[in-house]
Amino acid sequence: MASRDLQPAYLHTSPYANECLGPLGVVDVMHMFLKYTPSEFAEIVLTRQEEKGLFSEHEIELSQLLLPHIRRAVNISSVLDARAIEQAQMTETLNGLRQGIVLVAGTGAIVYANKAASDMFRAGGPIRDVRGILGAVTPAASMEIRQAVAIAGEDEGRIGKIGACILVSEPDVAPVFAHVLPMKGSNMRSEFAPSAAAAIFVSAGPDELGTAKALAAAFRLTHSETRVLASLLLGRTLSETAKEHGTAITTTKSHLDNIFAKTGVSRQAALIRLAMQSF
């Protein structure tokens, strides 16, 4: 505090006191430090006008009683802000993944679903949001998920640290698996979703178009060549690809020959192997 901690002679000659405080009619200043670390600094500054006089000892005592509570409020606010930033960063990271991620409570209620999982819900599979409860396309898979989640929430030891792997796709399509992992003791549970008992990771399945585009960028394929490659990666034959694109089989074959030349392979099997190994 200026009147108590600084000499009158210093205040009389101080440019700050004379040029800043004086014109404002300020005769006393009290600084209360709230935070003083290598990366953060905060304080409260109280001033007294000339007509009010200097701070009294009683007012100083009151400020000393108040100061710890203000500091506590500032620290709590900092923690909450940091947690909000961490959660925002976590959400952004999870939403950037192709794999569906769902956090559920022990009852199976959905606590959080990333963008990929939400897209699966909207598309109708392989996992579903059934009035806020996580389910799957088939009743059997839904039952397995509920049982695994219940075990994860009640007795983590029974499910084990590696969790459970459940087939959630229908029999006549490419297999998609959901991995149910317990979250007891997990940092994600305590900091991001305290009510979550289990995390379900759902494989996104092959991304043929994305793989074709990646190869196209790497080997400078044309748009038509990329379309042919994507069709072949989906398992279609050359004639089926030509029919799908409305082009002659000779034109489609010419695109394939160009792909072979650019990628350095000479057979469709080798081309598909290159795509799978590279991306």
**Residue 182 pLDDT:** 83
For 267, the 3-state DSSP assignment is: coil
Give me the residue label for tokens 């953060």.
40
Q: What are phi and psi of 102, to 5 degrees?
A: -130, 130
Decide if pLDDT at 222 tops 80.
Answer: yes
What CA–CA distance (Å, rounded) separates 126 from 138?
9
Enumerate domains of the chain plus CATH numbers.
2-92 (no CATH), 98-202 (3.30.450), 208-278 (1.10.10.10)
**What are the pLDDT digits (tens) for 80-100?**
565 665 677 778 878 877 788
**Residue 276 pLDDT:** 66
**Residue 85 pLDDT:** 59
Decide if pLDDT at 1 tops 90.
Answer: no
Decide if pLDDT at 279 tops 70.
Answer: no
Q: Over range 146-169, report the average pLDDT.
A: 72
pLDDT band, residue 191 (cuts 50/70/90): low
Instruction: Enumerate residues 6+ apart whose C-beta is below 8 A from 52.
Output: none
**Residue 262 pLDDT:** 92
First-to-last alpha carbon distance for the chain, in angstroms, is 66
Diameter over CA atoms, the chain: 99
pLDDT band, residue 206 (cuts 50/70/90): low
What CA–CA distance (Å, rounded) separates 133 from 40?
44
pLDDT band, residue 128 (cuts 50/70/90): very high
- Is there a cis peptide before residue 206, judged by omega within 30 degrees of 0? no
When computed from its CA atoms, the radius of gyration of the chain, rounded to whole angstroms, is 33
- Whole-number mean pLDDT of the chain? 81
